[in-house]
Amino acid sequence: IASHLGIFDRVLATDGPHNMTSGRKRDSLVAAYGDGGFDYAGNSRHDLQVFDAARSAIVVAPDRHAARWQAGHGAETVAVPKPTLKTFVKMLRVHQWLKNALIAVPMVLSHEYFNIDMIWECVLAFISFSAVASAIYILNDFFDLALDRKHPTKRYRPFATGALTIPFGFGAMMALIAVGIAAGLLLPIEFLGVLGGYMVVTTAYSLSFKRMLLVDVLTLAGLYTIRVLAGAAATGVDVSFWLLAFSIFFFLSLALVKRFVELRTTAIPAGERIAGRGYRTEDQEIVAQAGMASAFSSALVLALYMDSVAVRELYSHPWVMWPLAPIVLYLTMRVWILARRDEMHDDPVVFIIRDWRSQIVVAIGAALLVAGAWGG
Tens digits of residue pLDDT in 263-311: 887 766 666 777 677 888 888 999 999 999 999 999 999 999 988 887 8
User: Using CA atoms, how far apart are residues 188 and 6, in angstroms rounded to an integer?
Assistant: 61
Tens digits of residue pLDDT in 151-185: 777 888 898 888 888 899 999 999 999 999 999 99
Contacts 24+ apart (CB under 8 A), 198-204: 198/129, 198/132, 198/223, 198/226, 198/227, 198/230, 199/132, 199/136, 201/226, 202/132, 202/133, 202/136, 203/136, 203/139
Where on the phi/psi map is residue 271: left (φ > 0), alpha (ψ -120 to 50), or beta? left
Share of the chain above pLDDT 90, in %: 51
Q: What is the pLDDT at residue 376?
A: 45
Q: What is the mean pLDDT of residues 94-115?
A: 90
Residue 308, exposed/middle/buried by CB under 10 A (0-12, 13-18, 19+)? middle
- CATH superfamily, with its number, for domain 83-213: UbiA prenyltransferase (1.10.357.140)
Torsion (CA) 41, 42, 46, 47 in degrees, nearest 10: 30
Beta strands in the chain (DSSP E): 39-42, 56-60, 76-78
User: Would the CA dihedral through 44, 49, 51, 54 be positive or negative?
Assistant: negative
Is 50 in contact with 42 (CB distance < 8 Å)? yes
Q: What is the mean pLDDT of residues 311-322?
A: 84
Residue 1, exposed/middle/buried by CB under 10 A (0-12, 13-18, 19+)? exposed
Is 320 in contact with 375 (CB distance < 8 Å)? yes
* pTM flag (> 0.85): no
Provide the β-strand partners of residue 77: 59
Tens digits of residue pLDDT in 41-68: 988 888 999 999 999 999 988 888 888 8
User: Using CA atoms, how far apart are residues 216 and 209, in angstroms rounded to an integer?
Assistant: 5
